């Protein structure tokens, strides 16, 4: 069996969706103020003097702590619907080919929060059933229906991507692994792969209409599985 694994930010998309999501959700002014406030931590993180996941969690909590889960999920769905332009058409084509391959399994493994990654493939979090595209992202803690600002799982980055993959697919070590990634956070995943692809899908972009058509074909495959 072949297991196709795609990184999300920078691989299937043209940029980091955490930053795009915060700007979409809170506006440019609040976005700039929040990142200015945490800029010393972000500099330390870039210098590898402060843990990546701690910096990311502090920034996430600043913008979303206390928000109702239902409101957050609706915001995530709207963000995905509004942000199809971030998707790389060649990445969507590779996803569609993987889904059409008999017996193959497909996963998207991302350091981004799965609440806004899922809607790119299923429309809403409520539509997600785990197949045919398994989404493995950083999960957030919810208490009494509200976001605590903390992560429920470790940041899905580096070795954690492999751990989450093996947790979701216990037989993954016996599979032929085809992996797509673009950054240091994908290094371990690409090293494990039988067929690694580093920074793929970088050709000239298609029109918005072509990207939307490819995305519609993807949803046609995923949504009936969830709603049957």
What local confidence, expressed as pLDDT, does residue 224 receive? 62
What local confidence, expressed as pLDDT, does residue 225 receive? 53
Distance of alpha carbon 195 from alpha carbon 204, whole angstroms: 24
Distance of alpha carbon 193 from alpha carbon 100, whole angstroms: 20
Chunked into runs of 10 residues, the chain (228 residues) has average pLDDT values of: 97 95 96 93 86 91 98 97 95 96 96 96 84 95 98 94 96 95 96 97 83 92 65
DSSP designation for 172: G
Distance of alpha carbon 217 from alpha carbon 219, whole angstroms: 6
CB 186 within 8 A of CB 7: yes
How many alpha carbons fall within 13 Å on the CB side of residue 226? 21
CB 137 within 8 A of CB 85: no
């Amino acid at each position: 069996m072949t297991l196709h694994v795609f990184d999300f930010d920078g691989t299937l998309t043209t940029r980091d969706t955490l930053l795009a999501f915060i700007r979409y959700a809170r506006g440019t002014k609040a976005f700039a103020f929040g990142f200015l406030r945490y800029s010393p931590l972000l500099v330390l993180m870039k210098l590898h003097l402060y843990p990546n996941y701690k910096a990311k969690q502090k920034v996430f909590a600043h913008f979303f702590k206390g928000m109702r889960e239902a409101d957050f999920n609706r915001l995530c769905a709207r963000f995905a619907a509004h942000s199809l332009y971030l998707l790389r058409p060649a990445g969507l084509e590779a996803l569609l080919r993987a889904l059409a391959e008999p017996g193959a399994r497909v996963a998207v493994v991302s350091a981004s929060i799965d609440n806004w990654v899922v809607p790119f493939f299923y429309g809403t979090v409520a539509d997600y059933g785990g197949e045919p595209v398994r989404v493995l992202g950083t999960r957030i803690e919810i208490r009494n229906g509200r976001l605590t600002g903390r992560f429920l799982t470790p940041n899905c980055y580096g070795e954690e991507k492999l751990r989450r993959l093996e947790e979701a697919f216990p037989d993954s070590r016996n599979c032929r692994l085809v992996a797509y990634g673009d950054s240091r956070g994908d290094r371990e995943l690409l090293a494990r792969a039988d067929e690694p692809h580093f920074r793929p899908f970088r050709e000239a972009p298609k029109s918005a209409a072509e990207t939307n058509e490819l995305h519609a074909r993807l949803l046609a495959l995923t949504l009936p599985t969830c709603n049957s």
